[in-house]
């Protein structure tokens, strides 16, 4: 499930297994992408556009994450004290993956 798209989009298809499915429901990094159709047909990929999914889809996604079957891609990690730097990196939109802010457990 992709909410980003943009210039890194071809890399997303490269990491899919043969017969994999790619679903998109956003384009925060840009709506125009390039596709080498050989990747599409040689890997027998399915591309899906979706705007509304049932609650069972999200529950299944969380279950797969909890079971270690899939993991979010982490692009950068920042301590909370560097939130301004994390925001700067986010706004550049040059990263692939999530930007994580770490909160110290002893700071409660």
Which tens digit of pLDDT belongs to each residue from 1-43?
Answer: 787 788 888 888 888 999 999 988 888 888 888 899 999 999 9
- In this structure, which CATH number among 3.40.50.2000, 1.10.3720.10, 3.40.50.1820, 3.40.50.720 belongs to the domain 1-70? 3.40.50.720
Q: Coil, strand, or helix at residue 59?
A: helix
Query: How is the chain split among helix, strand and coil, in percent rounded to 5?
Result: 40, 20, 40
- For the chain, domain boundaries: 1-70, 72-108
Averaged pLDDT score across all residues of the chain: 87
The answer to whether 50 and 22 are in contact (CB under 8 A) is no
Average pLDDT (41-53) is 88
pLDDT at site 102: 93
What residues contact residue 48 under an 8 Å CB cut-off, 6+ apart? 21, 22, 23, 24
Classify the C-alpha dihedral 1-12-16-73 as positive or negative.
negative
- Higher pLDDT: 83 or 72? It is 83
pLDDT at site 9: 85
pLDDT at site 105: 61
């Amino acid at each position: 499930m992709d909410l980003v798209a943009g210039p890194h989009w071809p890399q997303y298809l490269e990491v899919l297994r043969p017969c994999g499915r790619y679903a998109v429901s956003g384009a925060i990094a840009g709506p125009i992408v390039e596709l080498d159709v050989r990747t599409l047909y040689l890997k027998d990929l399915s591309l899906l556009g979706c705007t509304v999914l049932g609650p069972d889809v999200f529950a299944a996604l969380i279950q797969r994450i909890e079971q270690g079957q899939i993991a979010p891609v982490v692009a950068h990690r920042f301590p909370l004290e560097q939130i301004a730097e994390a925001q700067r990196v986010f706004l550049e939109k040059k990263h692939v993956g999530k930007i994580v802010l770490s909160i110290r457990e002893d700071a409660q």
